[in-house]
Structure 1
Amino acid sequence: MYDHILLPTDGSDLAHHGVQQGLSLAKALGSKVTIITVTEPFPVQATATAAGWVASPDDFASYDAAQKKFAEDILAATKAEAAKAGVEADTLHVPDGWAASVIVETAKHRGCGLIVMASHGRRGFKRLLLGSQTAEVLATATVPVLVVR
């Protein structure tokens, strides 16, 4: 039924719980997985710009290198976990993106039949104020989404 599962992760403990559940499901179903992490663009705040600070090319390069290393570490550890579980896994790092939209587009373009991801873990006003990548994926995905709490 779900022969290709997308497992998004940001490296957090909560996201790892979602990955573990996704790997267990993939093993039980004989599915392959794509593990994805998305890193956001360089955070240039309006207040920093208004205060007179302007990012240099070195700032951008340093940020990009740190984000790439961060993603490589997350994906390597998660791929090793998949291998240990006996699950075929591809990895994907998408830099300079917004997680929810990249997750939905990746599921569509890679032919994933299911997205398994962790919930945001927030409730009430904080959830309303801060929003959630998971909520956005749920609202926009064209494939089933399994949310792990």
Structure 2
Amino acid sequence: MYTHILISTDGSELAQNGVDHGLSLAKALGSKVTIVTVTGPFPIAAVDAGRSIAAYVNQLEADNEEHAEAILSAAKAAAEKMALTVETLHIPNALPAAAIIDAAKTQGCNLIVMASHGYRGIKRVLLGSQTAEVLATAHIPVLVIR
């Protein structure tokens, strides 16, 4: 049924629920797994006036890469405990929902698993919802874990 599952994580405790559920599903189905994390575009408006933009961007890239590596290493370790082999993918400087959908397409995934806070109303408007955007625009099934 689902032969290649894309699991999205931002490293949060909530996202870990999605990772755990996605890995369990992959184990039960014998599916291939790709775990993805996305680091967003650079907030150039927040540049410190005392630093050059290039230095600021270089530091952000290094920090994002280090953070993504920590997230993906933890997810990969969880997969290995379940005797699963997974691919990991860091997509830097991208809008998360679009990057998740694009990764699913390019990796040939047929299911996306991700977590959601389940915010509604004004909280959803103010805080945004990458999960809602993925649900609205994905062309493959999306399993949302709360």
TM-score, normalising length: structure 1: 0.91
Alignment RMSD, CA only? 1.7
Q: Return the alpha-carbon distance in structure 2 between the equivalents of residues 54 and 100 of structure 1.
A: 31
Q: Structure 1 runs of 4+ off > 3 angstroms?
A: 51-55
Counterpart secondary structure, 2:90: strand
Match of 1:120 in 2: 117
Counterpart of 1:60, as a letter, is V
Match of 1:6 in 2: 6
Q: Is the 1:99–1:133 Cα contact (8 Å) retained in structure 2?
A: yes
Match of 2:73 in 1: 76
Q: Is the 1:104–1:141 Cα contact (8 Å) retained in structure 2?
A: yes
Counterpart of 1:117, as a letter, is M
Matched, 1:28 2:25: no
Matched, 1:89 2:86: yes
Shift of 1:52: 6.5
Counterpart secondary structure, 1:7: strand
Stretches of structure 2 that go unaligned for 5 or more consecutive residues are none
TM-score, normalising length: structure 2: 0.93
Q: What percentage of residue pairs aligned between the two structures are identical? A: 58
Q: How many residues align?
A: 146
Question: How is 1:41-60 mapped onto 2 (pairs within 5 angstroms)?
Answer: 41-45=41-45, 55-60=52-57
Q: Return the alpha-carbon distance in structure 2 between the equivalents of residues 87 and 145 of structure 1.
A: 21
Stretches of structure 1 that go unaligned for 5 or more consecutive residues are none
